[in-house]
Amino acid sequence: MLITPSRDNLNRIVILNPKGGCGKSTLATNIASCYAQRGPQPAIMDYDPQGSTTAWLKRRPDDQPPIHGIAAYKKSMQATRSWQLRVPEATANLIVDSPASINHDDLRELTRDSSSILVPVLPSPMDIDAASRCIADLLLVAKVNRNEGKLAVIANRTRKNTKSFKRLMRFLDSLGIPIVAVLRDSQNFVRAAENGLGLHEMRPPSRVRPDVEQIDKIVTWLDGWEARRRRAMQITSMRGRPFSGVTLLRKSQASSV
């Protein structure tokens, strides 16, 4: 798994959680369409052999602002890997949709040059366990430094006032990682995906307003990536050495979910 070389002015947003069906592609398409509406044209890199985001792009209506698609799951015999994965020069936001069940090498490779990492989590106990492992792997295997502030979680498919919702929020709180949005379980996401659209592009706007508000929160957080990176560099230079993720992991493992 190869990622194109990093570029200082590129926000490389990796959406990751090896648990299948937690909402990675849904998040990827909604963030991409939001950036497409705003411009400049974003890019989606699809690492999932199912090609969900690539298929969504094919369904995208011609009258919507375009998104550059890179089917990274396809191996081309005609082109070098770096050529295949190149990102247009004008791209400011690259959204990387990752597959379910990635191994440790792929996890390291996917996250290496990332500037933002989003982990969607569903409310079921099995999903919470899987998310716990995912966060642990990000901190200990991929060596994501919590102080860099590039890691955030999204609660997905939630139903307020249910036990599972409360359990999920307790778990996410215990991580000490920002929860940047809470997405409700809504057919709006399914309908948008079917039509190659993002929530921002659905009509009438009144029907999708609560969902759009949450996507906006995610994009606002993503837009702060350069400020977060600068702050992290200052903290690191003041402390003299990077913060270890182990403290956080112990805290989250010890918490009763």
Ligand X SMILES: Nc1ncnc2c1ncn2[C@@H]1O[C@H](COP(=O)(O)OP(=O)(O)OP(=O)(O)O)[C@@H](O)[C@H]1O
- For ligand X, the binding residues (CB under 6 A) are 20-26, 48, 50, 52, 100, 156-157, 183, 185-186, 189-190, 193
Query: Quick one: 23 or 245, whose CB is closer to Mg ion?
Result: 23
Which partner from the list Mg ion, ligand X, none does 189 bind, CB cut-off 5 to 8 Å by kind? ligand X
Tokens of 7: 């570029």
Query: Quick one: 54 or 91, whose CB is closer to Mg ion?
Result: 54
| Closest approach of ligand X to the CB of residue 53, in Å | 8
Which partner from the list Mg ion, ligand X, none does 190 bind, CB cut-off 5 to 8 Å by kind? ligand X
| Closest approach of ligand X to the CB of residue 99, in Å | 6
| Closest approach of ligand X to the CB of residue 21, in Å | 4
Query: Quick one: 48 or 211, whose CB is closer to Mg ion?
Result: 48
Give the Cα separation of 62 and 154 in Å (integer). Answer: 30
Which partner from the list Mg ion, ligand X, none does 242 bind, CB cut-off 5 to 8 Å by kind? none
Query: Quick one: 31 or 248, whose CB is closer to ligand X?
Result: 31
CB-CB neighbours of 168 under 10 Å: 27
Site for Mg ion in 14-53 (CB under 5 A): 24-25, 48, 52
Say which amino acid occupies 64: Q
DSSP 175-228: HTS-EEEEEE--HHHHHHHHTT--GGG-SSHHHHHHHHHHHHHHHHHHHTHHHH
Distances (CA, A) of 13 to 98, 151, 154: 11, 10, 14
What H or E segment, with its residue span, contains residue 108?
A: helix 104-111
> Which residues are at the interface with Mg ion (CB under 5 A)?
24-25, 48, 52
